[in-house]
Amino acid sequence: MNGADALCETLLAHGIDTCFANPGTSEMHFVSALDRQPRMRCVLGLFEGVVTGAADGYARMADKPAATLLHLGSGLGNGLANLHNARRANTPMVNIVGDHATDHLQYDAPLTSDIAAIAGAVSHWVRSTAGPDQVSHDARDAIAAAWSPPGQIATLILPADAAWGETNRVVAPATRASRAAPDEAAVRAVAEAIRSGKKTTLLLGDVALRGKALQTAGRIAKATGVRLLAQQANKRLERGRGRVPLDRVQYRVADAIAQFADTEVLALVGAQSPVAFFAYPDMPSTPIGAHTEVLQLAGGEADLCQALQQLAGELRIPRDVVPDVAPVWSDGLPRGDLTVDKLAVAVAALLPEHAIIVDEGITAGRAIYSATQSAAPHDYLQLTGGAIGSGLPMATGAGLACPDRKVVSVQADGSGMYTLQALWTQAREKLDVVTIILANRRYAILHGELKNVGANKAGANASLMLDLDRPELDWCAFAKGAGVEAARATTAEELCDLLTAACAKRGPFLIEAML
Amino acid sequence: MNGADALCETLLAHGIDTCFANPGTSEMHFVSALDRQPRMRCVLGLFEGVVTGAADGYARMADKPAATLLHLGSGLGNGLANLHNARRANTPMVNIVGDHATDHLQYDAPLTSDIAAIAGAVSHWVRSTAGPDQVSHDARDAIAAAWSPPGQIATLILPADAAWGETNRVVAPATRASRAAPDEAAVRAVAEAIRSGKKTTLLLGDVALRGKALQTAGRIAKATGVRLLAQQANKRLERGRGRVPLDRVQYRVADAIAQFADTEVLALVGAQSPVAFFAYPDMPSTPIGAHTEVLQLAGGEADLCQALQQLAGELRIPRDVVPDVAPVWSDGLPRGDLTVDKLAVAVAALLPEHAIIVDEGITAGRAIYSATQSAAPHDYLQLTGGAIGSGLPMATGAGLACPDRKVVSVQADGSGMYTLQALWTQAREKLDVVTIILANRRYAILHGELKNVGANKAGANASLMLDLDRPELDWCAFAKGAGVEAARATTAEELCDLLTAACAKRGPFLIEAML
């Protein structure tokens, strides 16, 4: 057995059995080891942004890390943006980055670069393994780090000689760290604030947005009148008919300030205190005013469900209180010209039961989120770090993690272009993903931002940089290139027909919605 | 005027009038400033790998830097691989990377990351500007750094408040640093080695591969019998009929070792001493044996033409010595089944005068390089850092720099997929680029490398990671998606017909060569 074999064994022993990969020469021994391990599912992405984004989507839905296999600093660099997004989501992920053999580094060969520096910018944990006998041990540490609640990005640098060198050392698997018990004083402090009658908002993040934790938060809200809110960007939300509905913190700073205007106490439940995405002249960096006291009910490492249950206990909420839940969708199907709002209604109305929505609709995100509040029960994944190009890969990973669930990937065209190679992986793996491209042919959000920063209307040079027309992108052709069936919708009726048909059958399909 | 205006003014005052861009919110004031500067040509790439690769190709052909405009750490990350390649080529480049406003950084907003760390991995020079009054001064320093011979990657981080803040400071432009005078002792040492009868190889890099420098090297070779050789990977070569022909250092280590087996003295002329691209078990990291003395005639910062002329003077080479040059192409057009060798012959035979070849053919590169030795005079640009995905963007930048020359972009399909978004920029800018996709539907080089590292023939998992079939990529469809006309060649005759037609008219065209 060599170091690469020991790595495969260690990953599999921890239940990590999916490897998103784009290997190069320095990873050939690992590729060869994977060949000897048919239990490992290897999924090729034709660009590393697909690899890392798919690993993010997979882990969000599988609740366990995938491995990625990346080629040196440049392969890692290509995957950097979606690692950034995954880091912001606290997604568990184990990256294996090949490096030159240790003795070869001194020669500064063409592909040599400072891998640790690049990895450090997007990882919670980075280590370069010292040799074949250390590989299994270091892999175990990487997996343990990735699995530390709420989840971390662990990057293990694997020099080629550590992969090809002989070893017989495979360590016993680590036990997964459990979530920390809630801080009882913190729970009492929030309970006290609520009992005192202060206007309180519970800001939910991470697993507080799912299952019994969310249900408990809903009971607290029903009994006490506190407001529930989700973070602006979240790893995963469980939503739809019959579930506790949550508004999100708004993207626009002015809107978010208005949301918190009457909040006297903000209690964080696995969430970060809200921050403006960008700074603007004469705008504050956070929507939370000086009149608001910020408390932490429980941090991301804690058992959020237990924290909410303890809060409910402190507040003596009767067992028979049931939360308000989202009603059954009652609107009809949209008709006529296609708009973002009608597209959102179509998705909400036609969404299959227990689907997964992947939202990188950017400017359309607000409408999609709002309309799908009462759609069939679903999970909702979104862009967490602001680095565009996450949607198509994330849908790919989600589809792999949940082969029995339909994925509906709502994708802006500008950001979709960043990682359109993901469509090929969807075709190869026959994933059950419907992609809806919002073809407005512009970076619509940037037209808004150009105004937000006090700049004028786009002139010739700004239009050149913010508009995607001349020539117009043809997404049906891109899909064909990648082996994915596709069709164009120019009216609301066409969109509904195509979405209905795509949801009725299995396999990838792309709808280019002409807005 | 604000800091962004001062930056535009400073770039333009240095003759930097082309900006490859993919901006975001934090760069909106710079976008607005560009709107007020119609002299600046703004070129949008739909992914930052296109932006940085195009800036590389532009600078290689224009002999001056372009600016890039990138969005925070994630935009920089997306452009990292082609910055790595440009760094290895010593291409001059000025990157403007937007950052959050200084006061906003403490809030760790979603897009916050360690930009300086990411930039440091691919830049010779990095600075974050302190405020609007420093912008022009720092931009001047960045430009001076970029233009330091032989060329550097300079990255200027521009916080949003430095861009939007008022200033009236615009510094006078820097004068371009000239190349250093050659070290006369070094020249004499090489002359002495040649005169002593030692078998000597002149290894040429950078501008020694062009014009009078190359001609002088050819005269020295003709008169003394020294061998000339180009580096394995080069920024730009002037080649073809009537020019001094150069072999390159071979990619395969065993081949390179054979090339240098009888070299007693290796003299570097703006070149690096050869290093194996990758390490392999039981293979040395460099093809240069202990029997070979390595001398440096002149480093990359020196005037290489002057150094070669001084060497010719030391060697008392008569003025009437003329170098051997590549003969006129005499082979006919290929016929029958399409192979890499026939494709190479077709390119050589049909290449327009003074075309620019951009070679990212990977496994086909050797055949292309060899066949085009006697093609019409042309410039030859290639992948320098091994980070695949450079070809389509580089062709885009070369086409922008030289609107009156045909660009022939020979592109492997696997690496082409990394940055296929470049086709859209070619369509938008109506660039005179013919792309030939080598559609072998596999990472052919990795099948070879799998054997090189002593691993077995690809099994199921390895095939999944090294083959691009199932489904097959359709490059004509991708081209249609991006607005570029395309056609497929399945025989040598079809390829010749399509290439002839594409070379006879202006504008982008893609040929999918089915190998």
The interface predicted TM-score (ipTM) is 0.97
A381 and A490 belong to one structural domain = yes
pLDDT number for residue B452: 73
| Residue B469: predicted pLDDT | 87
Residue with tokens 């690496």: B415
In this structure, the answer to whether residues A212 and A78 fall within a common structural domain is no
Report yes or no on B170 lying in a domain: no
Secondary structure in 3-state letters for A237-294 = EEECCCCCCCEECCCCHHHHHHHCCCCCEEEEECCCCCCCCCCCCCCCCCCCCCCCEE
The CATH number covering residue B189 comes to 3.40.50.1220
| Segment holding B254, helix H or strand E | helix B253-259
Instruction: Please tell me whether residues A225 and A86 are part of one structural domain.
Output: no
Interface test with B, best of A31, A235, A449 (most B CBs within 10 A): A31
Percent of chain B with pLDDT over 90: 92
Interface check for A385 against chain B (CB to CB < 8 A): the answer is yes
Q: What is the average per-residue pLDDT within A180-194?
A: 98
Show the tokens assigned to B251.
């990619």
The verdict on residue B330 lying in a domain is no
- Work out the percent of chain A whose per-residue pLDDT is above 70: 99
Residues A148 and A264 placed together within one structural domain of the fold: no
The pLDDT value given to residue A152: 98
What is the CA angle B78-B80-B82, rounded to 5? 105
- Picking from B112, B20, B130, the residue whose alpha carbon sits closest to that of residue B72 is B112
Instruction: Answer yes or no: is B171 within a domain.
Output: no
Sheet strands side by side (includes B125-128): B41-44, B18-21, B67-71, B93-99, B153-159, B125-128
As a 3-state breakdown, chain A gives helix, strand, coil percent values, each rounded to 5, of 45, 20, 40
Chain A nearest-CA residue for B480: A477
Q: If we measure between CA atoms, which residue out of B368, B333, B364, B367 comes closest to residue B350?
A: B333
**Cα separation of A414 and A405, whole Å?**
27
* CA separation for the pair A47, A243 (Å, rounded): 37
Distance between CA atoms of residues A176 and B148, nearest Å: 53
Contact A23 B465 (CB under 8 A): yes
This prediction's pTM: 0.98
pLDDT in tens, A345-364: 999 999 999 999 999 999 89
pLDDT digits (tens, 9 = 90+) for B120-145: 999 999 999 999 999 999 999 999 99
The mean per-residue pLDDT over the stretch A188-201 comes to 98
The pLDDT, as a whole number, for residue A455 is: 66
Residues on chain B touching A106 (C-beta within 8 angstroms): 285
Of B317, B301, B508, give the one whose Cα is nearest residue B425. Answer: B508
Which among A29, A279, A471 is the nearest to B160, CB-wise? A279
Residue B418 CA to residue A71 CA, distance in Å, equals 13
- Residue of A94 and A450 predicted with greater confidence: A94
- The answer to whether residue B58 is domain-embedded is yes
Is there a contact between A453 and B29 if contact means CB atoms under 8 Å apart? yes
Distance from CA of B143 to the nearest CA of A (A): 22
What is the average pLDDT value for chain B, to the nearest integer? 96
Q: Evaluate whether A361 touches A412 at the Cβ level (below 8 Å).
A: yes
* A179 found inside a domain: no
Same domain, B292 and B393: no
Q: Residues B244-271: what's their mean pLDDT? A: 97
pLDDT digits (tens, 9 = 90+) for B147-161: 999 999 999 999 999
Segment A476-512, tens digit of pLDDT: 999 999 999 999 999 999 999 999 999 999 999 999 9
Name residues 15-34 of chain B within 8 A of A (Cβ). Answer: 21-26, 28-29, 31-32, 34
Q: How confident is the model at residue B222 (pLDDT cuts 50, 70, 90)?
A: very high
Indicate whether B298 belongs to any domain.
yes
pLDDT tens-digit series, residues A205-257: 999 999 999 999 999 999 999 999 999 999 999 999 999 999 999 999 999 99
Distance separating the N- and C-terminal Cα atoms of chain A: 56
Give the helix/strand (H/E) hosting B190: helix B184-195
Are B199 and B280 within one domain?
yes
Interface of B with A in 194-253 (CB under 8 A): 233
Give A116-134 pLDDT, tens digit per residue.
999 999 999 999 999 999 9
- B465 in the same domain as B379: yes
A267 with A414, same domain: the answer is: no
Q: Which of B81, B106, B114 sits opposite A77 (nearest CB)?
A: B81
- Find the closest chain A residue to B386 by CA distance: A111
Is A393 a domain residue?
Answer: yes
Q: What is the pLDDT of residue B456?
A: 65
CA distances for A499 relative to A343, A350, A441, A481, A486, angstroms: 10, 7, 21, 21, 11
Residue A172, pLDDT score: 97
Are A294 and A373 within one domain? no
Given a cut of 70, whether residue A456 has pLDDT beyond it is no
Which of B280, B314, B348 represents a domain boundary (last residue)?
B314
A387 inside 8 A of chain B by CB: yes
The CA-to-CA distance between both ends of chain B, in Å, stands at 56
pLDDT at A334 over 80: yes
Q: What is the mean pLDDT of residues A256-269?
A: 98
Q: CB neighbours of A142 closer than 8 A, spacing ≥ 6?
A: A94, A125, A127, A154, A155, A156
- pLDDT digits over B62-94, tens only? 999 999 999 999 999 999 999 999 999 999 999
The parent domain of residue A123 ranges over: 3-164
Candidate from B3-12, B235-244, B321-330 with smallest mean pLDDT: B321-330
The two three-digit tokens of residue B166, written as one number:
């008022």
Q: Does B367 touch chain A if contact means CB atoms closer than 8 Å?
A: no
Predicted pLDDT of residue A445: 87
Query: How far is the alpha carbon of A242 from chain B, nearest alpha carbon, in Å?
Result: 31
- pLDDT confidence band for B328 (50 / 70 / 90): confident
Q: Which residues are within 8 A (CB) of B279 and not within 5 positions of it... i.e. 6 or more apart?
A: A100, A101, A103, A104, A109, A160, A161, B285
Give which of B2, B8, B12, B28 to mutate to test A binding, by max A Cβ within 10 Å: B28
A219 to chain B, closest Cα gap in Å: 30
Partners of residue B100 in chain A, C-beta under 8 Å: 278-279
Are both B7 and B137 inside the same structural domain? yes
Residues A372 and A271 both lie in one domain: no
In a domain, A332, yes or no: no
Per-residue pLDDT, B455: 66
Tell me which residues of chain A, numbers 456 to 495, contact chain B at a CB-CB cutoff of 8 Å.
Answer: 456, 458-462, 464-466, 468, 470-478, 480-483
Residue B488 has a pLDDT of 98
CA distances for B128 relative to A249, B52, B124, B140, angstroms: 31, 19, 14, 13
Q: What percent of chain A has pLDDT over 90?
A: 92
- pLDDT, residue A282, reads 87
Q: What is the CATH number of the domain that holds A424?
A: 3.40.50.970
Structural domain tally of chain A?
3
Average pLDDT, chain A: 96
- Mean pLDDT across A55-64: 98
**Is the same domain home to A367 and A410?**
yes
pLDDT, mean of residues B273-293:
94
Interface test with B, best of A40, A51, A74, A280 (most B CBs within 10 A): A74
Q: Which of A78, A103, A480 sits opposite B285 (nearest CB)?
A: A103
* Of residues A47, A109, A118, nearest to B418 (C-beta): A47
